[in-house]
Structure 1
Amino acid sequence: MPSNKSVSDAPITQFFNCRILRDHKLQREDLWVRDGRILDPEKLFFDEQGYADKRVDCEGCIISPGFIDVQINGGYGKDFSQATDDAGAKVSFVAKKILEHGVTSFCPTLVSSPPAVYHKVLPQIKVGEGGVHGAGVLGFHLEGPFISVNKRGAHLEQSLRTFQSGGIKDLMEVYGSLENVAIVTVAPELNHSQSAVRELSQRGIIVSLGHSEANLSQAEEAVKHGASFITHLFNAMGPFHHRDPGIVGLLTSDQAPEGSVFYGMIADGIHTNPAALRIAHSANPSGLVLVTDAIPAMGLPPGRHTLGQQKIEIKGLHAYVAGTTTLCGSITTMDMCVRHFKEASRCSETDALEAASLHPAQLLGITDRKGTLDYGSDADLVLLDDGLNVKATYISGEEVWRKGP
């Protein structure tokens, strides 16, 4: 039954005894929430003479915007790249589980797959699913299949594709639809790739450069056509060279305006050496986006699992293509990435938290509602202790997970 209660009559929650992340610093002040949005307390007190209906003692915790993971392939045995009838249920299951890691929004990611997989899976999940029942879906991240065969990593060679014309026809033949797609990873050195980059960008889809042998000029050309992200920097791309730094060079390129290019990093202590993390962060701190690149084996014991069409083997904290030493995503969680990034880069708590919240929201162009604690933003929150361990997660101001005693 729809409620007749106006927004101004909705109950107000006051979070107190906390430090909130706002304006790039931790501030000791209360946070006020009503109807799933963050309130301006000045307007509440002076214009409405409002008061709190519910008070939450945060016991000195940090309140950060909820984390956003723009590259996650599955978890807890659920593989997003499998052509099944229950793709929606798989995404919903993972959406609920990752709440304990502070993730309130995410992009389900599909690795390079046959067209039949995209045609089966993509129609089953809609943007916005999750909500108070789990982390919200912001759209798919399609990682391939238009990538380099020599930098395919764990992507099956027989699933890879090239552009025949570069137009929308190539994309639609493979994906079936671009509805509910947020990010597409392509290799910019492929023939006709630039027209594909332009087509996707004009449709509001983020183009990410990755699994690529591109030189810097090819990467810069892609940025001119609208590319704005780099998929897991340093991994599955040509190595940095001082005469041609390749895609890595976009971090400081004078052909990529400041703030125009973001880059993902898997801060799991395995994919990237701490020194490389520090170099990237020092070169372009505002563009760093933490991603888990988590695979379906996340949250499961060592052994053999799947990733799309591949067999995966977990040994300790490493995930390999079975029978090889090729890394294939991670089994890390976003809160682990935040803590490792802070320790490895020696950055502040603010920098670490913004790399998992503000920066991905800026990449996706959704900072009007996600990634900040600004007035009017969605009240997607994560409460953390001083060690950046997640204590509780809120979506739209409602508690959806809390660490037990």
Structure 2
Amino acid sequence: MSSITRFTNCHLIDNGKLYQNTDLYVDNNTQKIIAKPSNLNQYEITVIDLKGEILAPGFIDIQNNGIYGLNFSNLNSNSTEEDIKEFKRFYKDAMKKYLSTGVTSLCPTVTSNFPDVYTKVLPIYKKSRLNNQCDSLGAHLEGPFINKEKKGCHPIETFVDANPKDKSPESKLLEIYGGEKNLIDNVCIITAAPEIPGILDLIPIITKKLNLIYSIGHTMTDYNIGLQAIDNGCTMITHLYNAMPQPHHRDAGVVGLINTPEVSSERNLPYFGLICDGVHVNPSMVNLAYKSNPNKCVLVTDAMHLIGLSNGSYKWDNQIIIKEDDRLYLKGTQTLAGALTTLPQCIRNLMKWSNISLQEAIKTCTNNAADSIGLSSEKGFLNIGCDADFVILNHKGFVTKIFKLGKEFKSSDINYDIDYPIYVENGNKNNNDKGVSSDRISAVL
């Protein structure tokens, strides 16, 4: 007899909407969402009573530099086989711990580095489907094709252009990242500055030949070059506002691309990562960007490996990072060096700053995130065929438990003492709401 799990006595969040008092079914063999069987008597059923709480897709973090002491870039040509084995053990442990925050999959982000680093670390980040830790969706390569004027904490000695005299831009790209196979098998996103020589010509190769996402970031580009990048296949902007020229009413810059009228349709507007930690972006500017194009906003943590560690000074390559509570910066400067806020807290911040519902905020790191990297048939939705990766939330917006491919895990996000308002006035009591397409609700009927 086939076995299924029925999640009941719960409300579902998907598509930016709340589906009240709706059950959800999972095939225990495939650990994928299925439609309600027509004859439940033919199945062995496990019932999970969520006692009135909320079930949403597992959160997706597409930009994360490290977690629980693990720097995703921390291997090089001097790393021995034993070093690599230890790194893999550390990686597995950190990905298990990060699952407790509600993030069920992420893009491990490798900041600007030398070729030997990419050769060593990228195979570790090959796309996975596991039931005991966060999945990797493929690496996010942030640099080294970036502008030194917007380097942030990236080491300038690693920076390169893509227009050498003795080889093609494509050859340079493959040389830096360890070859075509290393990119296709192990990478999801490449962030580069489009004004760097050769990059505009590389965008179609990145997006069409290699089938990766190209994102604008760490750039001094102007609005017009940004439009050229979109025409060439750019579909994303990395951590909006940060490491780019700030918008002016007569010179919109990269920020102006998020809702530019100079593209053929809204579908062609780029997704944009937004760090809602209250440090990287002022709440009013978060609200401005989100309200400008909520369907393309993707919350990211931009977390550094110091998240979860105590305050103090930490050596990072040849630099010193100072950790002071929720701030990270390069010693002796005001340059920010990544973030320390979890994705659930970013969601609650966005709710408060933009006065939106929990379901609208969750859309930014589930539906939008999955759509931004082309994985909506697998992750980030409660559609039939999607993985059984879920977060359970209470009505204050805190994650109370996590299900990874149907397996339950405890949450590290629970905090019942903070009173966050949860707005659910847009929730749909009737799943046949005409505003929801049939393919989006078929899994929850």
Q: TM-score range by the shorter chain?
A: over 0.9
| Cα displacement (A) at 1:149 | 0.4
2:33 matched residue in structure 1: 38
Q: What TM-score results when the alignment is normalised by the length of structure 1?
A: 0.93
> CA separation in 1, counterparts of 2:92 and 2:350?
28
| Cα displacement (A) at 1:38 | 1.1
- Aligned-pair identity (%): 36
Matches within 5 A, 1:2-401: 9-28=1-20, 29-35=22-28, 36-41=31-36, 44-46=37-39, 49-51=41-43, 53-83=45-75, 84=79, 85=84, 86-128=86-128, 131-165=130-164, 167-176=169-178, 177-178=182-183, 179-202=185-208, 203-256=210-263, 257-260=265-268, 261-307=270-316, 310-401=319-410
> CA separation in 1, counterparts of 2:239 and 2:342?
15
> CA separation in 2, counterparts of 1:270 and 1:52?
50
Q: What TM-score results when the alignment is normalised by the length of structure 2?
A: 0.85
Task: Say whether the 8 Å CA contact 1:14–1:52 is kept in structure 2.
Answer: no
> CA separation in 2, counterparts of 1:53 and 1:145?
51
| Cα displacement (A) at 1:87 | 3.7
Task: Say whether the 8 Å CA contact 1:88–1:125 is kept in structure 2.
Answer: no
SS of structure 1 residue aligned to 2:105: strand
Structure 2 unaligned regions, length at least 5: 416-445
| Cα displacement (A) at 1:51 | 4.8
> CA separation in 2, counterparts of 1:306 and 1:277?
31
> CA separation in 2, counterparts of 1:308 and 1:94?
20
Task: Say whether the 8 Å CA contact 1:80–1:90 is kept in structure 2.
Answer: no
> CA separation in 2, counterparts of 1:91 and 1:309?
23
Name the amino acid aligned to 2:250.
R
Tell me: CA distance 1:40–1:241, structure 2 relative to 1, closer, same or farther (3 Å): same
> CA separation in 2, counterparts of 1:374 and 1:88?
33
| Cα displacement (A) at 1:259 | 2.8
> CA separation in 2, counterparts of 1:338 and 1:309?
34
| Cα displacement (A) at 1:91 | 2.8
SS of structure 1 residue aligned to 2:175: helix
Task: Say whether the 8 Å CA contact 2:126–2:187 is kept in structure 1.
Answer: no
Name the amino acid aligned to 1:120.
K
| Cα displacement (A) at 1:49 | 4.1
| Cα displacement (A) at 1:233 | 0.1
Name the amino acid aligned to 1:234.
Y
| Cα displacement (A) at 1:306 | 4.6
Cα displacement string for residues 30-49 of structure 1 (whole angstroms, at most 9, x for unaligned residues) = 111113111211xx134x64
> CA separation in 2, counterparts of 1:241 and 1:384?
40
Task: Say whether the 8 Å CA contact 1:80–1:308 is kept in structure 2.
Answer: no
> CA separation in 1, counterparts of 2:215 and 2:136?
19
Cα displacement string for residues 104-126 of structure 1 (whole angstroms, at most 9, x for unaligned residues) = 11000011112221122113332
Task: Say whether the 8 Å CA contact 1:382–1:394 is kept in structure 2.
Answer: yes
Task: Say whether the 8 Å CA contact 1:81–1:117 is kept in structure 2.
Answer: yes
> CA separation in 2, counterparts of 1:307 and 1:285?
35
Cα displacement string for residues 226-278 of structure 1 (whole angstroms, at most 9, x for unaligned residues) = 11110000001001011121111111112333133100001001111111011
> CA separation in 2, counterparts of 1:402 and 1:17?
20
What is the RMSD of the two structures over their aligned residues, measured on CA atoms?
1.7
Task: Say whether the 8 Å CA contact 2:145–2:160 is kept in structure 1.
Answer: yes
Number of equivalenced pairs: 393
> CA separation in 1, counterparts of 2:89 and 2:126?
12
Larger CA deviation: 234-243 vs 253-262: 253-262
